[in-house]
Amino acid sequence: MMRLRSSPTFRWSPLPALALALASCTPAAPPPPARPFAGLKLKVGVVGDPALVASIQAQRGEWTARTEAELTVLDEPVKLDSLAKSNADVLVFPGDRLGDLVDIKALAVLPDSLVLPPPAPTSEGTEATPEPPPDDFKYKDIVLSYRDQVTRYGPDRMALPLGGSALVIAFHRAAFDNPANQEAAKGAGLTLEPPKTWEQFDALARFFHGRDWDGDGSPEAGVAIAWAPDPEGVGDSTILARAASLGLHPDQFSFLLDTETTTPRVTAPPFVEALKAFVALKAYAPPGSEKFDADAARKAFRSGEVALLIDRAERSDAWGATGDPIGVAPLPGSTRVFNFLGKTWEDRKLPNRPSYLPHGGGWMVGVAASTRQKAAAEDFAKYLASPESTNRLRAEKGFPMLGVRTSQLSQGMANPRLAPGVEPRSWADAVSRTMSADRVFPGPRFPGAPAYLADLTKARVAAVSGQPVETALEELSRAWAERTKALGKDRQTWHHRRSLTGLTTSPEPPAR
């Protein structure tokens, strides 16, 4: 009988099944991040200072790595008359060119959705609270004046802020703290403290001039300001800041031009008084001060031979050399304000201290209206104005600018080591009070603003050189009226009102 071979016994193992089960439960690898702009080509044009080009070029790497887009920052600044030829998708510009860009319809209006986080999802009846969407841009961290004024033209948001500028007083602490100076000041009816009014500022300049306030055995000067033509515009800004405290009435919108007719107001009492005081301060300055531009004024202050300096806060790196303490204070105000409606002076208990912001408020980024890559251009503009990018921009030594976010102002100077002796706390306080003041007046932003300011430079330099102040201002008024006429009076009136943001205008300007 034949024996059948028994087949091998099958033994079940749980390992393959377990592996299969585990494989089915393991979450799939997350998909790669979406890069909707990969391969797109984007151009960025800089309007204005060539030094800003390098600063913007230094910020592009992170965005291109994240998006895989190709980004080119044009090597040379873009001129308005050749803007179309540049094919720029994104524009970086100073605030005083905003009106020019709006006038030629070069900028796209930015939607609220670009900067405001999307609304939080609803719970749909569940008890769990949905997580709010991320807000990496932190729009509400931007100082209110930049959200509601500097980056707007009328009701439209035309740009996002990159950095700002503000005038402050820098002073040698030794001049104020010296016991002999304090005793002499008491006898003269003065208190050695940062001035609250321009009259107090004038009195301090007069007191310190010709006095050995630092105890080195030789007399020093009282004040240094940019009296000569100045490419940074510090001299013009000083005049306008003082005139604003005298002429920007709390109940009115403008002191430069009539808001209904665009008639220049520069021959009115606030400008006459401001320019006369500006010229008079030269008597308390070092010899040759009529030739001071901003850099020369800083040099005189840095040498320790001048007690007071009016300058841009972002140039604090040029104030100290020895490390001696340097205090900082906001510009003073006026207890007398001119009412243009009644043509009378009004006394006020508290000084009128509207903050004047040079360069139309600072530097901004906008999206070109002609771009075919709107989404990518908006994304890069938002990236450039983000907290991280603007922190890097304000730390750039080649193009100094101030932060325009509350968090940045609370941090103080970006590089305190570059400003030896400057008191970080008083610097931060002065800048914060200036940028966050209840009333902020950005410099002229209507079309042709730089040319209008060049006329102001000519007038103040003529007055410093001996021309009667009234005559210099009459010539300035005629120059402004002619510019307005050449650009179109009705159109300029529309732009002027639009640039003030709070006045009613039609959606489109009148024809040229």
In a 3-state reduction of DSSP, which class is residue 440? strand
Taking the C-alpha atoms of residue 112 and residue 352, their distance in angstroms, rounded to an integer, is 33
Structure tokens given for 181:
């100076």
Taking the C-alpha atoms of residue 177 and residue 98, their distance in angstroms, rounded to an integer, is 44
In a 3-state reduction of DSSP, which class is residue 287? coil
Q: What are the structural domains of the chain?
A: 41-115+135-165+360-404 (3.40.190.10), 167-357+436-486 (3.40.190.10)
- Give average pLDDT by consecutive 10-residue segment, the chain, 512 residues: 42 48 54 79 94 92 93 94 92 97 97 84 58 79 96 97 97 94 93 97 97 87 97 96 97 93 97 98 96 97 95 96 91 97 95 96 97 96 96 90 96 91 96 95 97 98 98 98 97 96 92 86
What is the H or E stretch that residue 207 is in?
helix 198-208
CB-based contact 418:397 (threshold 8 Å): yes
CB-based contact 99:491 (threshold 8 Å): no
Dihedral through CA 419, CA 425, CA 431, CA 432, nearest 10? 150
**Matching residue, tokens 């209507």:** 446
CB atoms within 10 A of CB 471: 12
Q: In the 8-state DSSP scheme, what is residue 107?
A: B
pLDDT at 28: 59
What is the H or E stretch that residue 379 is in?
helix 374-384
pLDDT at 31: 61
pLDDT at 11: 45
Residue type, 324: D
pTM: 0.90
Beta-sheet pairing, 362-367 with 160-164: antiparallel
CB-based contact 145:435 (threshold 8 Å): yes
